[in-house]
Amino acid sequence: MLLIGSMKGSALVGIILLICGCGETAPPCQNAAQSPVAPSAGCLVVTERGILLVRDWTGSVALPGGSVQSSESSRCGAEREVFEETGLSVVAGDTARRFDNGFQLFWCEVDSPAEPNINRPFEIREIIWWQPGEARYIEWRYPRQGDQIKTLIAERQVGLASPIESDW
């Protein structure tokens, strides 16, 4: 009987660890500078590999990001969310866009070379490096998100980027 109770306890601990994500702890915020208050934030990470995206278990794709904790700045929330979802340590820089729903999007740079790793397997199914010129269909979590990402990148390349409001 003791063995069965022990096995149940071990299984319960395992399930709790999986539900909690059991990923590594996010590194300290690289940019604790004050940033606008936002309920949620994320990163637009552009590298030579492409644009960092995540696919959830519904099949939809989005930029990495999520809820900002009450004790952190929007930039720190964006950095933490990217790490929690992809295992990549990033530094949040300038604001790329503020959206009507309160989501704050930052231009982010990968802090150190590493391969992405899914730290939240019950939330994230796949990490994608998207090339905007690819002619493949993407089911975006938010309508027109792909087009808006392309526009932000084009504006930044010609120096027109501004943190204007959008209805993403």
- Residue 135: the pLDDT is 59
Residue with tokens 């030579």: 48
CA distances from 51 to 14, 46, 72, 80, 150 (A): 34, 5, 25, 18, 10
Contact 121, 133 (CB under 8 A): no
Residue 76 buriedness (CB in 10 A; 0-12 / 13-18 / 19+): buried
> For residue 16, what pLDDT band results from cuts at 50, 70 and 90?
very low
Is the pLDDT assigned to residue 104 strictly greater than 90? yes
Q: Express each pLDDT in 125-163 by its tens digit.
A: 999 999 988 756 788 998 888 888 989 999 988 875 454
Of all residues in the chain, what percent carry a pLDDT higher than 90? 47
Q: Express each pLDDT in 59-78 by its tens digit.
A: 999 999 999 998 899 999 99
Is the pLDDT assigned to residue 23 strictly greater than 80? no
- Residue 145: the pLDDT is 86
| Domains of the chain in sequence order | 2-166 (3.90.79.10)
- Residue 33: the pLDDT is 58
Contact 30, 92 (CB under 8 A): yes
- Residue 50: the pLDDT is 92
Instruction: Provide CB contacts within 8 A for 93, sequence distance 6+.
Output: 31, 106, 107, 108, 109
